Amino acid sequence: FNILVLHGPNLNLLGEREPKHYGQTNLTSINQQLVEMAQTAGHQLTPFQSNAEYQLIEQIHLAHHQQIDFIIINPAAFTHTSIALRDALLAVAIPFIEVHLSNVHAREPFRHHSYFSDIAIGVISGLGAQGYSLALQAALFILSNSR
Ligand code: DQA
C-alpha cells in the first residue's frame, strides 16, 4: 500500500513547541519511525509537512494521481478553520484518519470543533506521537481487510 502522512502548520517545531501539549519528540523522528514501520510491513509511506494551506491541498490533489491508498493527517490549526482542506479530501475521496497529539477536547473550546472528524474513518487525539503509529497500524489493518 501507499500511505501519505500530512502534517499541518507549526508541526515542524515539534519537540521545542509547547512540549506540555505536544511532547518532546520532533517531527523527523516521528516520520522516520512511520517510514520504518511501513517498510517493515512491506508498504510505502511518504511524510509531508507544510505551514501553507495551499501546499497541503496540492499534496492531496497529487495523492489522487499517485495512487495513494490512505492518508493520515494532522491538520494542526487548520483542523478548526479549513473548509478548503476538507473539500480537497472529499474531492479525492481517499480514506483518512485524523490525528492530534494533544487531546483537543480537553483544551480551549475553539479546538473542540473539527472540519474533518465527520468525514474521517476515525480520529486519534491526546495520545502524543504514539497516535501516528496507532493510526498507521489501523490504516494497514483497514487496507488489508478491504482487498
Ligand atoms: C494539534 C491541535 C490543534 O488544535 C493545534 O492547532 C495544533 C496541533 C495537535 O496535534 O494536538 O497545531 O493538531
pLDDT digits over 92-113, tens only? 999 999 999 999 999 999 999 9
65 vs 68: CA distance, rounded Å: 8
Q: Is 132 a catalytic residue?
A: no
Grid coordinates of 128? 502524543
Cβ(37) – ligand 1 distance below 6 Å: no
Homologous superfamily of 2-145 in CATH?
Dehydroquinase, class II (3.40.50.9100)
Nearest-atom index, ligand 1, CA of 78: 6
Nearest-atom index, ligand 1, CA of 76: 13
Per-residue pLDDT at 8 exceeds 80:
yes
Contact status, residue 11 vs residue 110, Cβ threshold 8 Å:
no
> What average pLDDT does range 83-94 have in this prediction?
98
Q: Pairing mode, if any, of strands 2-7 and 122-125?
A: unpaired
What was the ipTM of the complex prediction?
A: 0.99
Per-residue pLDDT at 134 exceeds 80:
yes
Q: Does 89 carry a binding-site annotation?
A: no
Helices 83-92 & 53-65 angle (0-180, nearest 10):
0
Q: Is 65 a catalytic residue?
A: no
Q: Which of 18, 79, 107, 114 to mutate to test the pocket of ligand 1 (most atoms within 8 A of CB)?
A: 79
Cβ(102) – ligand 1 distance below 6 Å: yes
DSSP state of 84: H
Cα 101 to ligand 1 centre (Å) = 7
Cβ(59) – ligand 1 distance below 6 Å: no
Per-residue pLDDT at 147 exceeds 90:
no
144 vs 147: CA distance, rounded Å: 6
Backbone angles phi, psi at 3, to 5 degrees: -120, 135
What ranges do the domains of the chain cover? 2-145
Give this prediction's pTM.
Answer: 0.97
